[in-house]
Amino acid sequence: MKIAFLIIDMQTVHLGGVPQPKIDGVCEYINYVSRVMREAGHPVIHIQDIEGMTEETREHYRTIGEVATDASDLFVTKEYSNAFWKTELEDVLKGQEIERLILAGFAAEHCVQFTYNGAIERGFGPVLLQNGILSRHDDAVAAAYRDRNLISYPAAEWLANA
């Protein structure tokens, strides 16, 4: 089964107000799964929300340094909460025959869940990376874990190498 790992909105401009220890903890899981996916030949895709970006603010819209990137990673920009809406994401995934998506990133109650729902609507099997999503509101992360399918990092590693 071909899978992709989506890292959503892990950008300086969006993470203001999130305590650094929480960011560091989530990045540890994201970086581990990213490495596993790359080594197994599965794509890692960084979703970047560029709504409101200007030439002067461009630097704030880059993926934070705590998230490891690789030359093989793909980047998709968006201007809406759902990373599928008016982007090339669906075409990219279909072009690589992706069947399942692992989602991580920010914000649990907005872009992560909207993209999760968009994946379902398009026939992809999404799961959230346990300990891999952030919000400014702890109850939003708990609700996402309660209401959506989860995958642990060991299960993601097993799936990547299956």
Give the Cα separation of 83 and 47 in Å (integer): 7
Three-state DSSP at 43 gives coil
All structural domains of the chain, each given as residue ranges with its CATH number in brackets, are 3-161 (3.40.50.850)
pTM score, whole prediction: 0.96
Helices assigned H by DSSP within 40-137: 89-95, 113-121
Contact 70, 45 (CB under 8 A): no
Q: Taking the CB of residue 22, how many other CB atoms lie within 10 A of it? A: 15
pLDDT for 109 equals 95
pLDDT digits (tens, 9 = 90+) for 12-51: 999 988 999 999 999 999 999 999 999 999 999 999 998 9
Give the Cα separation of 34 and 132 in Å (integer): 11
